[in-house]
Amino acid sequence: MTLEIRTDDLSGEATRALIAAHLDAMHAQTPPESVHALGIERLRHPDITVWSAWHGDDLAGVGALQRREGEHGEVKSMRVAPAHLRRGVARALLRHIEAQAAAMGLVRLQLETGSGPDFAAARALYLSEGFTSCGPFAAYTDDPLSAYFSKDLAR
């Protein structure tokens, strides 16, 4: 599948709908205190860049990078539209985010995802792309419903 990945200003209806669906799914699968997904307003923070992946005129997925202290970044809000699942969209977005992080001079990417069965595909993706399990970072705490991953970026 050919994808166009572009910086997203979060103003488009399709992007807003996919992020809303992402938040709804996180709240359906996880207790509120363990949901770390960001809504539109929080994704508009100056330290966060959001990208959307498009297959023609169809939104295939979204992902974001939050610049953290020092030379660290955090992958945020990865979501693939249901019609595009298992077609390589998440992998393409993750690789794009990693390349952009490296271009920004970041040396490490980290992320949080769920630890339950609903998040098994996400965890498998991150492991297959060279991320390793780590402990909580930034403001995260030890939460049995969260899994944390880290990857050092090549310089």
**Which tens digits make up the pLDDT trace of 55-92?**
999 999 999 999 998 899 999 999 999 999 999 999 99
- Whole-angstrom distance, CA of residue 92 vs CA of residue 97: 9
**Burial status of residue 58 (CB atoms within 10 A of its CB: 0-12, 13-18, 19 or more):** exposed
Q: What is the pLDDT of residue 69?
A: 83
155 has pLDDT over 70: no
Angle at 141 between CA 140 and CA 147, to 5 degrees: 75
- The stretch 23-33 carries a mean pLDDT of 92
Q: What is the pTM of this model?
A: 0.95
Domain ranges of the chain: 4-152
Q: What is the pLDDT of residue 154?
A: 78
32 has pLDDT over 80: yes
Q: What is the pLDDT of residue 51?
A: 98
| Residue 104, both tokens | 């920004």
Q: Which CATH number fits domain 4-152: 3.90.230.10, 2.60.40.10, 3.40.630.30, 3.40.50.1000?
A: 3.40.630.30
Residue in 67, 73, 61 with CA at minimum distance from that of residue 149: 73
